Amino acid sequence: MRILVTGGAGFIGSNFIRYMLGEHSDYQIINLDKLTYAGDLKNCEDYANNRNYEFVKGDITNIQLVYKLAGKVDVIINFAAETHVDNSIKDPTEFLKSNVIGTQILLDAAKKYGHERYIQISTDEVYGDTENGFFTEESILKPSSPYSASKAAGDMLSLAYYRTYKTPVIISRCSNNYGPCQYPEKLVPFFIKKLLAGENVPVYGDGSNVRDWLHVIDHCRAVDLILHKGKIGEVYNVGANEEHPNIEITKKILAILDLPEDRIKFVEDRPGHDIRYAIDSTKIQNELGWEPTVGFEEGFREVVEWYKNNFI
């Protein structure tokens, strides 16, 4: 299989390419990435010379480039996106360009070349938040931030291409990933970097906001399964059922680094901050046989240790 992975120099995309090159030694992967501040070729260093791998620097909104690359592959998997909620609150413009227009251009390319699959990597944030219960794939979308609104628009567009043109779209909506190679703007690497530099860590509000934490490798396994066994036109939630408030995650990081809790500084909450994300992943478990394999305590400790070794 020949795959165009977009955003493969970012956190999840780079882990996914590593996973796929290891699992499927005959697959060819082209990584198209704009190398925004969040993309880093260091994330791909260990497989840069793999003969089944090629990196192309470029933007998914560049129609000529996307069409040229799409003509060489059977499948597109779209990880490329602007992903930081705080940036989307300051200025949503780039989020609409990459997450909506970029998605449309990739969908058009999949349509033009009659691709076998188009996989849209989405997020649990498109459902908005809930204090109780779990969102299923049938729940309505109620995004809270310009980031999640742009991701929801990408999802809607993808499903519309399936309905209108029979483009073979599948969407995955996963929860908060943790793992190596994440840009240090997101909670885990950001806090570890600050702590190692001797600074305090800023926790939004009272830190009670709850996220479901999924190890990036379990997400990669889910995307691999969706690619091969997922049903066209369907959405799959991918969550680990590991709900933890941000304050608990912060205290866990401090404990692993052997630092005192007075390094926590509570700061004014993010506007529109979602209280709790919670998805029901029964569908992917029952239909595709996926389940998380990495235990949270052990997986989280390993990831903190990874950043400790890589930031020092």
Ligand X SMILES: NC(=O)c1ccc[n+]([C@@H]2O[C@H](COP(=O)([O-])OP(=O)(O)OC[C@H]3O[C@@H](n4cnc5c(N)ncnc54)[C@H](O)[C@@H]3O)[C@@H](O)[C@H]2O)c1
The rounded distance, in Å, linking the Cα atoms of 126 and 144 is: 8
Residue 180 binding ligand X, by CB under 6 A: no
Closest distance between ligand X and the C-beta of residue 57, in Å? Answer: 9
Binding-residue pattern over the window 52 to 81 for ligand X, x denoting contact by CB under 6 A: -------xxx-----------------xxx
Closest distance between ligand X and the C-beta of residue 216, in Å? Answer: 8
Q: Judged by CB under 6 A, which stretch of 10-18, 68-76, 240-248, 278-286 contacts ligand X?
A: 10-18
Closest distance between ligand X and the C-beta of residue 262, in Å? Answer: 28
Residue 304 binding ligand X, by CB under 6 A: no
Bridge partners, 243 (sequence order): 212
Residue 113 falls in the annotated catalytic set:
no
Catalytic residue among 59, 82, 125, 242: 125
106, containing H or E segment:
helix 102-112
Q: Which residue is nearest to ligand X (CB)?
A: 10
Closest distance between ligand X and the C-beta of residue 36, in Å? Answer: 4
Residue with smaller CB distance to ligand X, 98 or 209: 98
Produce one character per residue of 151-173: b if its CB has 16 or more CB atoms within 10 Å, e if not.
Answer: bbbbbebbbebbeeeebbbbbbb
The answer to whether 84 and 147 have CB atoms below 8 angstroms apart is yes
Catalytic residue among 33, 124, 218, 242: 124
Residue with smaller CB distance to ligand X, 40 or 263: 40
Residue 98 binding ligand X, by CB under 6 A: yes
Binding-residue pattern over the window 218 to 257 for ligand X, x denoting contact by CB under 6 A: ----------------------------------------
- 3-class state of residue 297 by DSSP: helix
Residue 147 falls in the annotated catalytic set:
yes
Tell me how far CA of residue 208 lies from CA of 131, 249, 252, 253, 288, in angstroms: 11, 10, 14, 16, 33
Residue 125 falls in the annotated catalytic set:
yes
Catalytic residue among 47, 53, 118, 147: 147
How many CA atoms, within 13 angstroms, populate the side-chain half-sphere of residue 252? 19
Residue 123 binding ligand X, by CB under 6 A: yes
Distance in angstroms between the alpha carbons of the first and the last residue of the chain: 39
The rounded distance, in Å, linking the Cα atoms of 142 and 85 is: 15
Beta strands in the chain (DSSP E): 2-6, 28-33, 53-57, 75-78, 117-123, 169-174, 176-178, 201-204, 210-215, 235-238, 243-245, 264-267
- Chain contacts with ligand X (rule: CB under 6 A): 6-7, 9-13, 32-36, 38-39, 59-61, 79-83, 98, 102, 121, 123, 151, 174, 176-177, 183
